[in-house]
Each structure stands twice: as C-alpha cells, then as structure tokens.
Structure 1
Amino acid sequence: MSEGAPTGPLDGYRVIELGTLIAGPFAGKLLGDMGADVIKIESPDRPDPLRTWGQAEQDGHRFFWTVHARNKRCVTLDLRVDAGRDLFLNLIEHADVVVENFRPGTLEKWGLGFDVLSARNPKLVLARVSGYGQSGPQAKSAGYASVAEAVSGFRHLNGYPGQAPPRIALSLGDSLGGMFAVQGVLAALLSRERTGRGQVVDVALTESCLAVQESTIPDYDRGGIIRQPSGTRLEGIAPSNIYQTSEGNWVVIAANQDTLFVRLCTIMGRAELAQDDRFSNHVARGKHQDELDELIGAWVALQDPTSLVERLTEVGVVAGPINTVEDVVKDPQLIERGMLVDHYDERIGENVLGLGVVPTFSETPGSVRNAGAASPGYDNASVWGGLLGLSGDEQTELKKKGVI
C-alpha cells in the first residue's frame, strides 16, 4: 500500500463526503477504492463516531475506522457557521460528487440545499442517503439499518418460522444503502457526460432493503403469498441447505438444478433418486424437500468435511464450508485474488489486515492507498491550503474560531 495519486476507473473525480457512521461513509469508501479523491468532512467538535467502533482494541484505537475511512483525506469543517458554509461552497467548485447521510432537511437548514450547491457547481452530483428518502410522510424520521431492515420486510424473512426474527451480525441495511448510492452516483456521472448537469441521487435504506427481496411483492400480489422465514433453506428450492458432517462442521450443498442433482445422487451412490417422481424435477423436489434433506443429511453425516467439499466440487456440485473469519483469512482463493490486503494504520504504526477492492478491473485496478486519517483534520493543510489556497495564517485563524 502506498500514498500517492489515486488509481482506478474514477481517477480524476473528486468526492466530498458528509455524514457519519456507515451508509454514507461506505459509499465514499467504495468510490475511493475505485480511485476517486474522497475528502471526508468531520465536525471540529464532533468527529465521526466510527473512529471508536469495532470489537478489537489496541492502544485505545478500534479498527472499524480502517474499513470505511481508507482512501480518504480527512478535514474538519463546521457547516453550521457562515464561515464554514462559505468554505464548503468554495470546496464544491472543485468537486464532482457530494455524498451525505444526514436526516432530510439538514443541509437545507444550513443553507446548503441542492439549489444552492448546483448554483455554485451545476455539474455537481449530490447523493443523499437517509432512512426513508427525501420525500414522503416519514422522510424526516431518523432511520437506522436495523429499523430499515424491519420496516422493509427484510427482517421478517430472516430466521426460523415461529421464532423472533434475528438480526445478522452486520449493519446490512446501511451497506445496501451505500451500494445503491454508488450505483446512482456512477449513473448520474454518466448522464452528466450527455447533459452537462448534475442531479440528486436519493437513496432510502428502507428501499435498498426492499430492492433485494426478489419475488416477494409479485408473489403476494398475484398469489396472496406472504413469504415466511425458512431457516437454513429457501422454500421450494431443493436441495439447497446446510448439512452437518461427521466432525460436526456444517457445509452448504446447492444442487437444485436438475443436472447438478443428478451429479449429487451419483456421488451419493443413490443414482435412482434422480428418477424418483418425488425428486425428478425442480417443482417435485420443492414439494418434497423435507424428505430430500433427510436423505442428504444422513449421507453427509458420515462424510469428512474437507474431502466431501473437494469431491462434490470435482464433479460440479456447488458446495462449500461455512467458514468463520479465521478460515476466511486463510482462504487461498481470496488471497490469490488480492482480497486480503494490509492497511498501514498510523495510529498504531502497524499493518491491519483488511478487505481488498471489489470489484476488480482489468485495465484500471483500484487500490488501497491509506488506512484512514489518524486524527480529525489530518489533511486540513493539503485541502484547505493545497486545494483552496488558504495560507497558514488563515488556517490558524479559522482553527482558533472553531471553523476548521
């Protein structure tokens, strides 16, 4: 990992990131991974709480910060005061994109609505990530990923029938919102190439969670079906489940296509199952998946987990172990693909392992150039001085006044 000019397909684009925690910063991180010059703004008196998130701790530092702050320059600026507002308007003249995840109306309260921003920079793309979107009866309600997952119906689908719907141990709704924001930003930049004008990209966490729910809405509309949680499998999709091996490990076997099911039956020594009327096609297997899971489970329970996955993979049956992070960081496929890379964290003076850049690009690969600014305002000089031309004395005076 090295400092220097951005690399990647967004080399030459500049993004200003406002907001805290996950959704907005995740969007900024993805854009930075692809080479954009991302300038993250933190309040001088209220830095991003993400600096203190994460479960591991070393020398008083936690490491969620290295995930979402990497590849960014961090500056301090108080947008609530006139001097800060003016400095921000000067900054966006040099920007292509602003990403924010405040509650709707916050920018307008500060006199920084899109009308003001676009008047200063007509080419600016403003990505706005919020709980419920910028319009509608709930627009100004606060929204977190946990609630967005619940309100959208996403949370209802998780877990087992008749049990409390559990949460996955991630802020998935935030990450989905950030990903859709990046998708919108890229489309808006492409549109700008034709029109010469920017626009607002309005992303709601609730809608982001809804967007990945496959056929739940048409199934309800045309069949009155309210899809229910189905534990470790999907109802009507079989076999596609987890099965416990002789050593207690769990593996996933997904052989729900007819050709794959034939291969599975053959390696099980039960080729006749593929001709059984209960299992001979997709619909039949879905209707009899309890029986099928029982048959496969009994066979898997006698198998060694490592050799089982190897043998299934060799014959073209989709299978894999359920790995912990301890397994993931040793995965040769991920290592070979550059998905596990060191981030030099200046806060502790050591490398911290993190995720590589997704997706990969054949001609303009992204990169991990830094692990995130060690302290708020770390890049004030390079941005306020180098980019906007403020002298050292001017920066000192603004700092004394609490503007930066």
Structure 2
Amino acid sequence: MEPTTEQDLPLSGIRVLDLSRVLAGPWCGQVLADLGADVIKVEHPERGDDTRDWGVATSPGNTTYFDSVNRNKRSLGLDLATEEGADLARRIAAGCDVLIQNFKRGGADKLGLGYARLSAENPGLVYCSVAGYVGDGPEADRPGYDLVVQGESGLMALNGRPEEPPLKFGVAAVDLFTGQYAAQAVLAALLQRHRTGRGRHVEMALYDSGLSLTSYVGLAALALGRDPERVGNAHPAIVPYGVFEAADGPLVITVGNNGQYRRFCTVIGREDLAADPDFATNLGRSRHRARLAPEIDRELTRIPRAALIEALRAAGIPCGEVAGLHEAFRSERTAQAGMLHAGRSPVLAPPYRLDGDRPPVRRPPPSLGEHTDALLTELGLDSEHIADLRARGVVAG
C-alpha cells in the first residue's frame, strides 16, 4: 500500500483559522490538521500561546504542552489587538472553511472577529467558539479552567478511594474532551455545508463536556440519588476488575463475565471461590466485594506478574502490566504501532489509521511565527509591506 500523502487525507483543501489558545481549542485544530486541513495558528507576536511557557522545554520557544496540541499547523505571529492585525485576520478568515476561537465573551466581537460579522462576509464559514460555560447563561462571563470544571462537574468525585479527598485526572481531561467534541461538531457542520452551502456556529462549553464525561457514573448518581461509592482502581460495578498486585509488580485484570470469572478462579487455584453461590454472578460479587476482594488479593501476591499474565491470557482473560509513562512510550508496542514521530522533538502521531495507514505528521509543532512571511505572501502582501508590519510589531516571525 502506498503511503498516505497530504492530498489523500480527508480534509485536504480545508483551511482553518485557529485563534484559540491553551488546550481545548488547539486540540480541535490539531484533530482537523491531522486529517489534512491547513491549520493556521495565530499567536501573539511576542508572547505566543500561553502553553509555550508550560511544561518541559523541547526547543527554544516550544514546550511539551505546546507540542502536544499543535502538530501539523502553521504559526502566524499576529497582534490582533491592532486594527491592522485584526484586519489581516479577517482577510484570512474570508478564505477559510473553519474558524476556532476561545476569547472571553464579547472578545471576538470587539476585534471584529465575531460570528455575525465573519459569517456575513463568508456564509460558508463553520465558526467554533469554545468557552467555560454556556454563552447565554448566568456564568457566561466566567473564564473556563479545566481543573475548576473537573471540580464543579463532579469528575473529581469519581476518582480515588473513599477515605481520600476528591482527585483530579492526571491530564486536563475536560480540555481535551472539549476539543475532541468540538472537532466532531465541526466535521458534522462541514458535512452539512456540503448539502446546504452554509456554515454553522458551533458552541462548546467546558462545563457541558465535563458533565458529559461522567457518562455512566453520572447517570448512576441520578439513579441512586447520591454519589456512587469511590473504589479507587477497582470498577464500581464489575468484580474482579481493576489494578492488582502480583508478587513483583502491578497489573490490570478485567473479568468481564461469569465464564471468565470461573476461569480466573482456576488460574489462581481457588476453584472454591467459583463454587461459592455468593460469587456466582457479577451482581453477587459486587454485593460481597468486601469478602471476595481480600481472598483474590492474597492469591495474586503469590504469583510472579509475567507468569500470571501468561496464564490469564491463555485462559482468555484480558490483562496487562501497569507501565510507567516513559516505559510505555519506549515500549516495543508503541514502536510497532508507529505512535511516536521523531522530528525536531518527539511528538505523538495521530491515533487513527485510514485504510491501514496512519496520517503523517506533515509539520512539527511550529516555532512562534515560523510561517508568518509565507502566510502573508499567500494573502498578497509584498516583502516591503511585511517588513513594515514587522517593524511596527503587528507581525513577527
């Protein structure tokens, strides 16, 4: 099979103006870029995106935070607070299919970059706004921060053990899911535009995404009329299912049905636990978790992890080692999947395949303003005009 080229990608020919910062909006832009769109990331000409100052430095002006959500994009250093800068952004938007922004409420309108104005000039524009809370609600003016929303939406109440305080996710899950939801909605709007010729205004709120992310546990809270019990690395409704300690390290074991449970008991040499009527069904095992769990834990700690995983897999029981992050990234499994791209600094590759081929990392995460001259030249500006704009701080690159 021939390698995927840029022209083969589904969004080849789609142009996106990414005015967003930090994680949620840029993640949306990166999804579109991975699928072939030409994504133009606008950054302040001096400061750049906030995330250029977060995490571990990967090169001058780039960090792990920035690199994680900005592959396959072009960077335009542009001061939108100047009339000339905002006018250049409007000119670019007039030729774009999608615009992404996460200004505070009213911020885009003040710059002349709001939905009403830009859609009047470009009726086919799909305009995506990302905010903390719904734009017509009482909290519309509040800034959106992932950790705050993790607390407010109940997400932190899902994690950890009952005796511990609420626990946040290890990554900015609300930001990242909001970006993914936004990309899905943008793609749907582009598909509808193919039929109607008109764009849509996609509105995303971090709080809405946070609630959505609670999924079945959130619905369980409604059904119970209270918070479900937190169970740490175990499953709230399936037993045994979670992280366990073997003799020499942790592993994950997921016993998903009663047949697997009986085979699991054979692997650990405790057929009596399979014969006990209290444990015959998952509902029974859940009810009697406090009696069953210590018995299982005691048996598992006697068996070396590698031998246990081998026996469980032979019995058709899903399981795997618990790896450290560095260990996982450097594993043979990751290498075989082709999930790491080594460029100016390592970045993850897109997590999907098209006809068996993973979309390429066409461009590394850009340095600040790296593509300014090329983009302004495409807009029709000559070198003298660009030099004048740079001298006055309107653009950088």
TM-score by length of 1: 0.91
**Structure 1 residues not aligned, in runs of 5+:** 346-351
Give SS of 1:64's match.
helix
Equivalent residue, structure 1, for 2:164? 163
Give the CA deviation at 1:5: 4.5
Q: Hey, what's the Cα distance between the residues in 2 that align with 1:106 and 1:337?
A: 42
Q: Hey, what's the Cα distance between the residues in 1 that align with 2:62 and 2:348?
A: 19
Give the CA deviation at 1:222: 3.8
Equivalent residue, structure 2, for 1:24? 25
Q: 2:363 aligns with which of 367, 370, 376?
A: 370
Give the CA deviation at 1:57: 5.8
Give CA deviations for 1:202-248 in whole Å, capped at 9, x if unaligned: 1111111111212344434443132242212132321112111112x
1:305 is matched by which residue type in structure 2?
R
Equivalent residue, structure 2, for 1:348? none
Give SS of 1:146's match.
helix
Equivalent residue, structure 1, for 2:252? 252
Equivalent residue, structure 1, for 2:354? 361
Counterpart mapping for 1:3-402 below 5 A: 5=6, 8-55=9-56, 62-247=63-248, 249-342=249-342, 344-345=343-344, 352-362=345-355, 365-374=358-367, 376-385=368-377, 387-402=378-393
Q: Percent identity?
A: 32
2:311 is matched by which residue type in structure 1?
R
Give the CA deviation at 1:147: 0.4
Give the CA deviation at 1:153: 0.8
The answer (yes or no) to whether the contact 1:7–1:367 under 8 Å persists in 2 is no
2:375 is matched by which residue type in structure 1?
V
The answer (yes or no) to whether the contact 1:35–1:367 under 8 Å persists in 2 is no
1:210 is matched by which residue type in structure 2?
L
Q: Hey, what's the Cα distance between the residues in 2 that align with 1:67 and 1:340?
A: 12
The answer (yes or no) to whether the contact 1:128–1:203 under 8 Å persists in 2 is yes
Runs of 4+ with >6 A deviation: none
Q: Hey, what's the Cα distance between the residues in 2 that align with 1:279 and 1:134?
A: 50
The answer (yes or no) to whether the contact 1:236–1:287 under 8 Å persists in 2 is no
1:101 is matched by which residue type in structure 2?
N
Q: Hey, what's the Cα distance between the residues in 1 that align with 2:354 and 2:47?
A: 37
Q: Hey, what's the Cα distance between the residues in 2 that align with 1:157 and 1:86?
A: 46
Q: Hey, what's the Cα distance between the residues in 2 that align with 1:7 and 1:147?
A: 41
**Structure 2 residues not aligned, in runs of 5+:** none
The answer (yes or no) to whether the contact 1:125–1:185 under 8 Å persists in 2 is yes
Give the CA deviation at 1:6: 6.0
Give SS of 1:225's match.
coil
The answer (yes or no) to whether the contact 1:19–1:25 under 8 Å persists in 2 is yes
Q: Hey, what's the Cα distance between the residues in 1 that align with 2:266 and 2:163?
A: 36
- CA, structure 1 residues 221+50, in 2 after alignment: closer, same or farther (shift >3 Å)? closer
Give the CA deviation at 1:389: 1.3
Q: Hey, what's the Cα distance between the residues in 1 that align with 2:258 and 2:172?
A: 36
Give CA deviations for 1:275-304 in whole Å, capped at 9, x if unaligned: 321111121111112222212211110111
The answer (yes or no) to whether the contact 1:14–1:97 under 8 Å persists in 2 is yes
The answer (yes or no) to whether the contact 2:156–2:169 under 8 Å persists in 1 is no
The answer (yes or no) to whether the contact 2:42–2:77 under 8 Å persists in 1 is yes
Q: Hey, what's the Cα distance between the residues in 2 that align with 1:206 and 1:334?
A: 33
Q: Hey, what's the Cα distance between the residues in 2 that align with 1:145 and 1:6?
A: 36
TM-score by length of 2: 0.93
2:63 is matched by which residue type in structure 1?
R
Give CA deviations for 1:9-29 in whole Å, capped at 9, x if unaligned: 211111111122111111111
Give SS of 1:211's match.
helix
1:315 is matched by which residue type in structure 2?
A
Q: Hey, what's the Cα distance between the residues in 2 that align with 1:130 and 1:102?
A: 8
